[in-house]
Amino acid sequence: MATLENPTVILPRKPQGAFRNEPFIDFSQHENARAMRGALERIGDELGHEYPLIIGGERVKTSAKIESLNPARPAQIVGVHQKAGAEHADQAVQAALKAFETWRFTPAEERASLLLGTADLIRERKFDFCAWLTYEVGKNWAEADADVGETIDFLEFYAREALRLAASTPPIQYPGERDELLYIPLGVGAVISPWNFPFAIMAGMTSAAIVSGNTVVLKPSSDSPTIAARFMEVLEEAGLPPGVVNFCPGSGASFGNAVVAHPKTRFIAFTGSKEVGLDIHERAAKAQAGQIWIKRTILEMGGKDSIIVSADADFDAAVAGVVASAFGFSGQKCSACSRAIVEEPIYDAFVERLREKVEDLKVGDPTGNANLGPVVSEGAMKTILSYIEIGKKEGRLVAGGNAIETPEKGYYVAPTVIADVAPKARIAQEEIFGPVLAVIKARDFDDALAIANNTEFGLTGSVYSMDRTKLDHARRSFHVGNLYFNRKSTGAMVGAHPFGGFNMSGTDSKAGGPDYLYLFTQAKSVGEKL
């Protein structure tokens, strides 16, 4: 094992050409389906292992544990993890602070090489990582592949971005001077990642931080710590020095809050609920004794996303886009369509076609690649079902509306459509984070836009229309961070669709975009008189 005194050497690895998104796996090909089934069998034999905390490169065990469960088969333990408490927060921050003193001066080429080497290892083991995602959070094969592919994309993209920033120059050279513009790291950061993209978002925030020269205390969601532990293994294999990333699953109320409040924590990168994000923002804003900086928060906090369907839209494409956006990964995406806003002339026909398509969806164990797998936990299932009961009173139940019992007692909710919902109804305003779609009738396109903008969120949105005037109007007036025309509202691609939202959807961080690494750095101007 590498130590601070004998660090692992990062072998030089330069980007191979311009950035390109990782291609998706075609599971209709026999050899790919066979490889996925083989990975599920192989990883199935590895379930239930115990993983330590990793603080400063040292393995730490605790008396309290976190058990990660397979939501399709809750009796099956995916991984057993140590539960970091408030008493571990200072240890983790101090380890990260010690590592920062050397990592901050590591050349950008070496930091980028670490990310590129990690991407290579993940690419080689893509099917295995897909299998871990299927077991730990219930993703079907395509959703798991998209998560792994986005992880590789983030690593490749941010490596190139770090090299670009390292070569930055000021806009002009003042006569008689040598002028420089240096993007230097911030310091120790807390990365608090979600369970719904437990690989891509966790790895994306972590890799952006460390390739910029920062060090990290990583607290993954307690619903998905195993995939983060596996990521740590790959980082170390690629040459991660001790203390640069400190792996600490734990309670948000104890460990997470302690790290956020720590005076040596310089920034917090968070993806999760609005309520937790606002709490982190408030705690970070309060200066602690010995704190000498204003903490930076990088927050992505969810949405209540709408797809507008105009009367002139490609009808079949719009139905398919709404179904894919609303029910992919059982609606457990911050970008998921939870509101279909349909113009009056086609409303009744659209609702009927929607019902037909949703009733064709197959719900089942994701190892068998059903359209929809389980929701992530029993608590999530109960919350979703409670919203469905509210929705039955606020609109007309068209499809679903119930839990689905299985012999394994998995956490399944039928894909649910509720029509005739008022724009200000609770299920049209509150984030449900499950397979529940509210359908709202709009008088015309202007009315549809007004409804789309009537929530406190502003993350993603789509418009289906063949009218260029309407699309131009939406481009100006639909107030979301990620807007799509004639395509689904989910599936942002790194580089092409920098991701982040407005209003209560967060700080518009634009992950996977050309300005994301600026959030993890500070600009230092140096002028030398010649």
Q: Where are the domains of the chain?
A: 32-301+509-529, 305-492
Residue 288's SS3 state is coil
- Polymer length in residues for the chain: 530
Question: Could you write out the three-class secondary structure of 76-97?
Answer: EEEEEEECECHHHHHHHHHHHH
Residues near 417 by Cβ (< 8 Å), separated by ≥ 6?
A: 351, 354, 355, 358, 397, 398, 399, 400, 437, 439
Q: Where are the alpha helices (DSSP H) in 70-199?
A: 86-103, 108-124, 126-137, 141-166
Rounded to two decimals, what is the model's pTM?
0.97
Among residues 246, 193, 243, the alpha carbon closest in space to that of 220 is found at 193
**pLDDT, position 12:** 67
Write down the pLDDT at residue 114: 98
Measured CA to CA, the distance from residue 424 to residue 373 in angstroms comes to: 30
Q: Across the strands, what pairs with 297?
A: 268
Q: Is 337 a catalytic residue?
A: no
Radius of gyration (Cα) for the chain, nearest Å?
A: 23
pLDDT for 11: 56
Report how far residue 390's alpha carbon sits from residue 411's, in angstroms, rounded to the nearest whole number: 20
Tell me the three state secondary structure of residue 58: strand
Four-way CATH pick for 305-492: 3.40.309.10, 3.40.190.80, 3.40.50.300, 3.50.50.60: 3.40.309.10
Beta pairing, strands 73-82 & 65-70? antiparallel
Backbone angles phi, psi at 463, to 5 degrees: -130, 130
CATH of 32-301+509-529, one of 3.30.930.10, 3.60.20.10, 3.40.605.10, 3.40.50.280: 3.40.605.10
Eight-class DSSP state of 120: H
pLDDT value, residue 13: 80
156 carries an active-site annotation = no
Beta bridge mates, 419: 396
Q: What is the pLDDT of residue 5?
A: 47
Q: Please identify every stretch of the chain with a pLDDT value under 50, giving residue numbers as ranges.
A: 1-7
The DSSP symbol for 252 reads I
What's the pLDDT tens digit per position in 406-418? 999 999 999 999 9
- Catalytic pick from 22, 300, 343, 431? 300
Q: Do 360 and 484 meet the contact criterion of CB atoms below 8 Å apart?
A: no
pLDDT in tens, 209-231: 999 999 999 999 999 999 999 99
3-class secondary-structure state, position 436: strand
Catalytic residue among 130, 136, 161, 334: 334
Amino acid 10: pLDDT? 53
Do 85 and 251 touch, CB atoms closer than 8 A? yes
Q: How far apart are CA 479 and CA 477, in angstroms?
A: 6
Contact (CB, 8 A) for 378 and 324? no
Alpha helices in 395-485 (DSSP H): 426-429, 445-452, 468-477
DSSP 3-state assignment of 499? strand
Number of Cα atoms under 13 Å in the Cβ half of residue 207: 36
